[in-house]
Amino acid sequence: MPYAMDHDLAAAWLRTTAAAVERHEQELTALDAAIGDGDHGSNLRRGFTAVTALLDGLAPDTPPGALLTRAGTTLISKVGGAAGPLYGSALRAAGAALPEPAADLTELAAALRAGLDQVRKLGGAVVGEKTMVDAFEPAVAALERAAFDGFTLREAGALAAEAAEAGARATVPLEARKGRASYLGPRSVGHQDPGATSTALLFRALADSTAP
């Protein structure tokens, strides 16, 4: 299987994510204002702006695992609230699991599974509790199935993005069981989870980065 994740794709993925977060900052903030602190969009934009600056200073031969690890460390240091530790730890775990100097699709899926496992460890959430896991889990599962079935990276990325977006939409009727939104109880029903929404942006950015 050809390589799926090398330096260029890892950098493109993070830059595309940063651009998507900037475009959707107000949407993320509005979603978070309904059931959280109202700062998810601004926090993520600040973090990914710092990641972009990091990328500008990295050598072009930086392995993808090291790149994701350093990006994760940057998010942890720059993003407030729960988003920084969750996203940052996910990228660091994924980076640590990537073989160097490049990874195939099966290895990329395994690395992102490691990232998801770290999110679950930190937040204690499972699918159905109205968190970023509701988008992250189906996206990783879609990548794993695509790798097993021999799909191309472009095909796999599209399937993962679609699965993440469907997972984010599926949080609307759920009652939050974790995080600040859980304090609202039944009043959290009817709102899309901001963390699941930004996770969908992350996987859509991965898909967009694989397009010719």
Hey, what domains does the chain have and what are their CATH numbers? Answer: 3-210 (1.25.40.340)
Integer CA distances (angstroms), 9 to 12, 45, 132, 157, 207, in order:
5, 21, 23, 12, 10
- Exposed e or buried b per residue across 71-105, where buried means at least 16 C-beta atoms within 10 angstroms of its C-beta: bbbbbbebbebbbbbbbbbbbbbbbbbbeeebbbb
User: What pLDDT, on a 0 to 100 scale, did the predictor assign at position 82?
Assistant: 87
Q: What is the pLDDT of residues 136-180, one digit of tens each?
A: 999 999 999 999 999 999 999 999 999 999 999 999 999 999 988
pLDDT score, position 156 = 96
Instruction: Enter the pTM of the model.
Output: 0.96
Other C-beta atoms closer than 10 Å to the C-beta of 8 total 12
Residue ranges of the chain with per-residue pLDDT less than 70: 1-3
Q: Please tell me the predicted confidence (pLDDT) of residue 3.
A: 66
**In the prediction, which pLDDT does 2 show?**
59
Give backbone dihedrals phi and psi of 66, rounded to 5 degrees, phi first: -65, -35
Helices H, strands E: what count in the chain?
A: 9, 2
CA–CA separation, 175 vs 177, rounded Å? 6
